[in-house]
Amino acid sequence: MSDRFLRACRREPVGTTPVWFMRQAGRYMPEYRAIREKYSLLEICRHPELAAEVTLQPIRALGVDAAILFADILLPAIPLGVGLEFAKGEGPVLLNPIRNLDDVKNLRPVNPESDLGYVMEAIRLLRGTLSGVPLIGFCGAPFTVASYLIEGGSSREFLKTKTMMYSAPEVWRALMDKLSGVLRDYLVAQIRAGAQAVQIFDSWVGALSPQDYENFVLPYSQMVLQAAQKENVPVIHFGTNTSTLLPLMKRAGGDVIGLDWRIPLDDGWKILGDNVAVQGNLDPAVLFAPRSEIKKRVGDILQRADGRSGHIFNLGHGILQNTPVENVKAVVDMVHEFSFSNDGRAAECIETRDVA
C-alpha cells in the first residue's frame, strides 16, 4: 500500500509528493454521471455500496494517493431535523432554516451510528476493498455547516449568518455549541469505523475577519479538531480565502492546513511555520488550460514546496464541473514524476517514480 499520503500528513519524508483532489468523485467523470442518471445524490450517499463504488471511481481512473469517502457535509442536517434537498442545478436547499433560539432548541439529538450509520457502513465496506490507498473521512466545520442551516442554502454575502452573529450572539453560540458536538461525534465515529485521516471543510470561513473568526468560530472548530486529533489519525483543516486567518486556523488545530491559490504556497507555509504540514494549492480553473500551462503551474507549486516534508498536493478548492478528466490525470502524473535533485533545487519532471 502507498502510505506516502499518511507519511506526508505526519511530515515524514516521502520520495514522491502525494496527490489527491477535493471533489475527485463527481460530475466531471463519465462513470459518476452514469450512476447519477439512475440515483440522486442523496440516494448514492445513503446506499453504502453505491457510495463505496463512487469513492473508488477516481482511484481507478486517476491513480491518486488517497480516497475520500463519498458523502456530503450537509448529511447531518437530516437527523438534526432541518430537512435537506438537492434541487436540480441549484445546489443544496435546507427546508427549515434556523432563525431563532426556538429553532436551535428544536434541533434533534444526533447519534451518528444510528442516524448516519450508512456513512459508517460505507467506510467499513471501503476498508475491506481498498488495498492500495488510505481512506479520508470528513465533515463540515461548524461555521460552514451553520451558514447553510441559517441561510437555507448557498450564499454569497452570508448576511443572515453574520446578522445572527452580531445581533443575536446567544442564538449563534447555542447553535455552534450544538453543531460542534454533533460534528465531533460524527467525525470520531468515522475514525472508529476505519477512516485513516479526516478533513474538516470550512469552505466559506474566509468571509470572516480575523477578529470575528477568533471570537465566533475558533473555539468551536478547535473542539472538533482536537477530538479528532485525540483519535490518532492525521487531521486536515481546510478553508478558502483564508490568507489572513491562517495563524488562527493553525491555533484551532489540525496536522495539515489547507491553502488555496490566493496565497503562494511558500508564503502560506511561512506564515503557518514549519511544525505543520500543508495541502494545496492549484487553482481548479488551471485544469482548463493547455497542458504546458498546467505543467508550469504544477512545477511552480512543487518548487515552492522545495522538497520539504509535509506537502500534500491538491487543488485550492474542489474540482469544477466540466473539468477535462485527462487533465486531472495529467496532474497526478506530473506530481508523481517531479523530483528534487540533491541540492534541493527542483529538477524538471524527471522520469523517476518511486515504487511504493
Q: Which residues bind ligand CP3 (CB under 6 A)?
A: 22-27, 36, 41, 68, 70, 72-74, 86, 91-92, 138, 154, 201, 203, 317-318, 321
Beta bridge partners of 198: 137, 235
- Shortest Å, Cβ 344 to ligand CP3: 33
Beta bridge partners of 277: 256
- Spell 15-24 as b/e; 16+ CB within 10 A means b: ebbbbbbbbb
Set 27, 173, 262, 304: catalytic member: 27
CB-CB contact of 108 with 79 (8 Å): yes
Give whichever of 152 and 299 is closer to ligand CP3, judged by the CB atom.
152
CA distance 159 to 352: 51
Minimal CB distance to ligand CP3: which residue?
203
- Shortest Å, Cβ 140 to ligand CP3: 6
CB-CB contact of 313 with 17 (8 Å): yes
- Shortest Å, Cβ 92 to ligand CP3: 5
Give whichever of 240 and 339 is closer to ligand CP3, judged by the CB atom.
240
- Shortest Å, Cβ 20 to ligand CP3: 9
- Shortest Å, Cβ 1 to ligand CP3: 20
Set 72, 177, 266, 306: catalytic member: 72
* Three-state DSSP state, 14: coil
Told to judge if 36 belongs to the known catalytic residues of this protein, a careful annotator would answer yes
Told to judge if 220 belongs to the known catalytic residues of this protein, a careful annotator would answer no
- Other C-beta atoms closer than 10 Å to the C-beta of 251 total 12
Give whichever of 70 and 338 is closer to ligand CP3, judged by the CB atom.
70
Q: Where are the alpha helices (DSSP H) in the chain?
A: 4-9, 30-38, 41-46, 48-62, 77-80, 101-105, 112-115, 117-129, 142-151, 159-167, 169-193, 210-212, 218-229, 246-252, 265-272, 291-305, 325-337
Give whichever of 98 and 340 is closer to ligand CP3, judged by the CB atom.
98
Told to judge if 166 belongs to the known catalytic residues of this protein, a careful annotator would answer no
Give whichever of 41 and 171 is closer to ligand CP3, judged by the CB atom.
41
Told to judge if 186 belongs to the known catalytic residues of this protein, a careful annotator would answer no
DSSP code at position 47: -
- Shortest Å, Cβ 148 to ligand CP3: 7
- Shortest Å, Cβ 288 to ligand CP3: 16
Give whichever of 35 and 289 is closer to ligand CP3, judged by the CB atom.
35
Set 3, 7, 10, 36: catalytic member: 36
- Other C-beta atoms closer than 10 Å to the C-beta of 352 total 12
CA distance 200 to 222: 11
Told to judge if 283 belongs to the known catalytic residues of this protein, a careful annotator would answer no
Set 148, 186, 213, 220: catalytic member: 148
Residue labelled with grid coordinates 511504493: 356
Give whichever of 219 and 318 is closer to ligand CP3, judged by the CB atom.
318
CA distance 309 to 205: 27
Rg from Cα positions in the chain? 20
Nearest to 234 by CA among 8, 14, 9: 9
- Residue 277, CA atoms < 13 Å, CB-side half-sphere: 27
Which residues are known catalytic residues? 23, 27, 36, 72, 148
